[in-house]
Amino acid sequence: MTSSFTPRRREFLAATSALGVSGLGLPGTAQAQAAYPNKPIRLIIPFAPGGVTDTSGRLVADYMSRKLGQQVVPDNRPGASGNIGSQAVSTAEPDGYTLLLVLDGTFVINPHVYEKVPFSPVRDFAPVGKIGDSTVILVAHPSVKAKTLAEVIALSKTQPGGLSYGTSGTGSIAHIAGELLKQRSGANLTHVPYKGGGPAVADVLGGHIPLAFASAASIQAHLKSGKLNAIAVPSGKRSRQYPELATFAENGVANFDINSWVGIVAPARTPKPILDRLNAELNAALNDTEVRDKLATSGINATPGTAASFGDVIRNELALYGPVVKAAGIKPD
């Protein structure tokens, strides 16, 4: 009896000991996750300081710092159209302490424009959430006789060299908008890339080129003064800032929905409880009246939402822009 009982007793003690360790381990894991964050968080901004993207990231980081109880520290890592900073985050520890401020151009256009991009937007990152959309508007110098998109398309077809349009650079969302317009409507347009949206708008103001795709924030004063004419917005619905402007679809160019956006992602394999916490605090920032107003002043419409919906945006636009880039033969400067 004793000899047969001893092994069973040992098995029982071993099993209960294992259960005890496991049982203690689960609360420990939960406590570790609940303690997040317990040190500062770096928000890598893969662009130079001072632009609209940088400003939006710093604004959200400041609000999230107060809610998280730890500083979210902006860290500018410019270079290669955002690729350098993005690569740094793609290989960072997936612990929630290194995040990336991401722009549409970096995530859904660069992978098609550059022959080799040192990261995969889908495989190497986990979405946290989208901060907001920046409305893009097709504008014209007042001397251009065309006042609607349909008239611009018709006018371009009568010009031997077509109509030139300026953008913030090769492979920008503005460039994609112009090329997609050409492919969908047969418009005769010639792309003129600039090193930023400001110089492109300046050349339209000076009458050196007739058209430009520009962010709403950069042209607001010029539209009010009459120095520029707004033609249409290349999105699926009318702009909140300029509800009087017709969309491309309303001008006969269907299935045209392009917006510039900015958001936050983390390295892949970041634990879901951490991603959920970050998404909740980001949405709290975007629902704050002061934050929303400041973003709107910069031309960004706040878009609180789920991490999953932001992931869908990334995947859908990657699929949409690939054929556009290929058909247009877009290559980096």
pLDDT value for 215: 87
Q: 278 is written with which tokens?
A: 């970050």
Q: Full-prediction pTM beyond 0.85?
A: no
pLDDT value for 120: 96
Give the residue ranges of the chain where pLDDT is below 50.
1-32
pLDDT value for 34: 57
pLDDT in tens, 171-207: 999 999 999 999 999 999 999 999 888 899 999 999 9
* CA 67 vs CA 42, 81, 87, 165, 292: distances in Å: 15, 31, 28, 44, 16
DSSP of 94-120, one letter per residue? SSSSEEEEEEHIIIIIHHHHSS--SS-
Q: Per DSSP, which regions of 61-97 are E strands?
A: 72-76
CA-nearest of 249, 243, 247, 245 to 228 is 245
pLDDT value for 255: 84
pLDDT value for 17: 40
DSSP at 233: B
pLDDT value for 240: 81
* CA 190 vs CA 81, 163, 187, 289, 309: distances in Å: 22, 6, 10, 41, 35
**Are 284 and 278 spatial neighbours (Cβ–Cβ below 8 Å)?**
no
User: Phi, psi at residue 30, to the nearest 5°?
Assistant: -60, -40
- All structural domains of the chain: 41-134+260-328 (3.40.190.150), 136-251 (3.40.190.10)
pLDDT value for 142: 97
Q: Is the peptide bond before 78 cis (omega within 30 degrees of 0)?
A: no
CA-nearest of 231, 242, 249, 107 to 173 is 107
